[in-house]
Amino acid sequence: MKKALLIFTLMFTLVVLAACGQSNKDGANGEKSTEKKVLQMATSADFAPFESRDTSGKPVGFDIDLATAIADKLGYKLEIKDMKFDGLIGALQAKRVDMVLAGMSATEKRQKNVDFSTAYNHSGEMFITLKDSKVKSIDDLKGTTVGVQLGTIQEEGAKSLQKKVDFTIKPLDNATTLIQELLSKRIQVAYLDKSVASGYIKEQGLAGFDDPTTSSPGMAVAFPKGSDLKDDVNKALKELEENGKLQELKDKWLKDQQ
C-alpha cells in the first residue's frame, strides 16, 4: 500500500512540474509567448552616414534605421552584428546572419553568391583629395596612390580604371582608415561612395570630384541564396517607400548628398 502511495505521489509531482513548465513557456497567464523572433543583420559600422557608431558605441545610420523599420514591419526583433565589410558575403553564405545592410551595391559579381532586394538607394562614386591637391580629374590620377576599401564596388572600379590610367591601388580595411591615410599623405586619393565621401569632405575640409566613368547599380539588402526573406523585405521596402518612411530616412541621414 505504501509503495503504491509513493508511486502515486511521484507521478502527481511529475504532472504538476510539467504543467508549471508549460505555463512558464507559454507565459504568466498560460497564454502563448508573444516574444518576437530575432532577425540577425550584419553590417560594417565604419561607413557613415549609412552605418557607424555613436559616442556610446551604439550602431547608428541610415541602414540601421532602415533595418529597424523593416524588422518592425515584419514583426521581428533586430539583432545587429558588426564585422569587416569584406567578410559580409561570407557570413551570408555560411548563414551566420539573415541579411546584410551595409551600403552594399548589388553588383553582378555579388549576385553570383548572394541574393539582393530591390535597390533602396542610388549614390555613385567620388574621389577625395586634400584641399591643395593638384588631382582634379581622372587623368590626374596618373602616378598617384589611390586608397580603396577592401571588397567594395570602389575596389572593383579602381581595378577597371587602372587599365586606362597608371596609378597604384592601396586596399584598406575601412573608410575611416582611408581618410587617416589621406590626411597623413600616405595616399594621394581616396575612392569612396559619394554619400560617404561628401560627409568626409565637409567634416575634414577636403576636396573631391565625381567619378564620371561608373554607374552604380544601387544599394540593396543582401541575403543568402534562396532566402525566403527576400520577398518579405521587398514588400516592406515597397510599403516604406509608399508611406514616405524611406524618404524620411533619406532626409534625416542623406540630405547633404541628395
pLDDT in tens, 93-136: 999 999 999 999 999 999 999 999 999 999 889 999 999 999 99
> At residue 172, what are phi and psi to the nearest 5 degrees?
-135, 165
156 occurs within a structural domain: yes
Query: Do 50 and 95 belong together in one domain?
Result: yes
| Low-confidence residues in the chain, pLDDT < 50 | 2-10, 12-33
Verify that 159 and 205 share a domain, yes or no.
yes
Secondary structure of residue 168 in the 3-state scheme: strand
- Looking at residue 158, which CATH number applies to its domain? 3.40.190.10
Q: Both 64 and 136 in a single domain?
A: no
- Name the residue type at position 87: G
Q: Is residue 2 part of a domain?
A: no
Q: Is residue 198 part of a domain?
A: yes
Q: Is 47 helix (H, G, I), strand (E, B) or coil?
A: strand
Of 34, 42, 37, 43, nearest to 77 by C-alpha is 37
Record the cell numbers describing residue 2, joined without a space: 505504501
Number of independent structural domains in the chain: 2
From the list 253, 237, 251, the residue with the least C-alpha distance to 69 is 237
User: Per the domain annotation, does 161 fall within a domain?
Assistant: yes
* CA distances to 55, 62, 199, 211, 227 from 48, in Å: 13, 8, 8, 20, 28
Alpha helices (H) along the chain: 2-26, 62-74, 88-93, 108-111, 153-161, 175-183, 194-204, 229-242, 245-253
My answer on whether 162 and 222 are in the same domain is no
134/206 same-domain check? yes
Residue 209, φ and ψ in degrees, nearest 5: -150, 150
Residues 117, 173, single domain; the answer is no
Q: Provide the CB-side half-sphere exposure for 50 (13 A, CA).
A: 28
For residue 255, the model assigns a pLDDT of 84
SS3 258: coil
Question: Is the domain of 43 the same as that of 91?
Answer: yes
> 1 in a domain, yes or no?
no
Same domain membership, residue 189 and residue 79: no
| pLDDT score recorded for residue 217 | 87
Residue 136, in any domain of the structure: yes
Q: Strand 76-82 and strand 145-149: pairing?
A: unpaired
Q: Which three cell numbers stand for residue 140?
A: 590626374
Q: What's the predicted TM-score (pTM) here?
A: 0.79
Tell me how crowded residue 90 is: count the other CB atoms within 10 A of its CB: 15
Domain span at 62: 37-122+217-253
Residue 175 and residue 228 in one domain? no
> Do residues 239 and 191 both lie within one domain?
no
Domain-embedded: residue 7? no
Same domain, yes or no, for 133 and 238? Answer: no
Rounded to 10 deg, the angle between the 62-74 and 245-253 helix axes is 160
Contact 134, 118 (CB under 8 A): no
**12 in any annotated domain:** no
